[in-house]
Structure 1
């Protein structure tokens, strides 16, 4: 009789967990669908980025689904539902760029509280870090940091090194035949934050061992983005001096600007891949094994 009661309790517990998982899946799917719907109406690049981040976040949660502790207190659940309710109500109005950037982290936090409570938030640290870097650094740092002067100086140095008679005056890169103004949107800070975001995705998806390597990756992403944009500004200064307005517009606001973003992304991707190869090679040297798994 006692054994039968134990089995019944186990079945009830399993059914409860199963029901909770279905509810959580429904909540998560709805939040993701709402955010994708909102971003699709605003910006194609933001929509594509949203898909990438939600896929990565969902992948991490799915990987650990069997080890997650899905027990939340009443107060944690209420607080989580309040957070989600605020997000949903705000979604009814015309969403701003900042709101769309905050949406993933705030909704992810609310979902985590509903699923596992305050004590269980640590289980979702990777996912919450990922959602934080979706757009929040851009929202917080872009209005207060301007690297226009630094970018203008670096672009001038590139031109000088290539043999041009270039000088810098404030935010202007000056050549004898003309000058180009480096203002905040063209200074490359957004590109730096974009590559930092990509580095965080790589570090979570394909982790490297040691804090020094991770810091090195983050710093390298900033340098790659800054240097690449410096060459772009230098090119635009040359085109301005040549009075080639059509080519200038192409590299300034046209597809040319995207080409430099692709170049910096490709360089960083190759750089990170080499780091992974180096780490794998080091691991094999420290732990040599034959193909059948036996030590040599």
Structure 2
């Protein structure tokens, strides 16, 4: 459903294309294809990071519902989770593009599928968990100081 609202493949390709350009890579983006001198990758829906984005949206909503936090934080937390997942996945796509350009197929295969791919999902979740923990500590520290 999210992909119908926003084309995450195109957004990810644009984001990674800009990052690679500013990192001094000779990159050309055409729609969802990122072409470098020695190879190209296509950012299809499976690589867009949508599953991680959806999970962190849901986790953010659950945290906001079950943990007493200010309303603004409750509204922004799911969106922040989605942004974290998008950025971390963009970093993964950038690595895949660099590995393709280096023609390192074994490393590309590792980071594209299986355990390598899961590392980035875990990084997203850990970062989001740390953010939630920080928010929890901030809101409860304020509550404690107000009651004293």
- TM-score scaled to structure 1, two decimals? 0.47
Q: Which has the larger radius of gyration?
A: 1
Instruction: Pick one of 228, 237, 241 that aligns with 2:88.
Output: 228
Q: What is the CA distance between 1:142 and its match in structure 2? A: 5.2
Q: Residue 266 of structure 1 corresponds to which residue in structure 2?
A: 126
Contact 1:142 1:190 in 2 (8 A): no
Structure 2: distance between partners of 1:278 and 1:164: 41
Compared with structure 1, are the counterparts of its residues 266 and 155 closer, same or farther at alpha carbon in structure 2 (3 Å cutoff)?
Answer: same
Deviations 1:225-266 (A, max 9, x none): 110110011110001111111111111112111000000000
Equivalenced residue count is 147
Contact 1:236 1:252 in 2 (8 A): yes
Query: Highest relative contact order (Cα 8 Å, sep 6+), 1 or 2?
Result: 2
Q: CA RMSD in A?
A: 1.5
- TM-score scaled to structure 2, two decimals? 0.92
Matched, 1:239 2:99: yes
Matched, 1:157 2:18: yes
Structure 1: distance between partners of 2:2 and 2:76: 23
Compared with structure 1, are the counterparts of its residues 163 and 143 closer, same or farther at alpha carbon in structure 2 (3 Å cutoff)?
Answer: closer
Task: List gaps (5 residues or longer) in structure 1.
Answer: 1-140, 289-296
Q: Residue 194 of structure 1 corresponds to which residue in structure 2?
A: 55
Give structure 1 regions of 4+ aligned residues with deviation exceeding 6 angstroms. none
Task: List gaps (5 residues or longer) in structure 2.
Answer: none
Q: What is the CA distance between 1:279 and its match in structure 2? A: 0.7
Structure 1: distance between partners of 2:68 and 2:143: 14
Q: What is the CA distance between 1:272 and its match in structure 2? A: 0.8
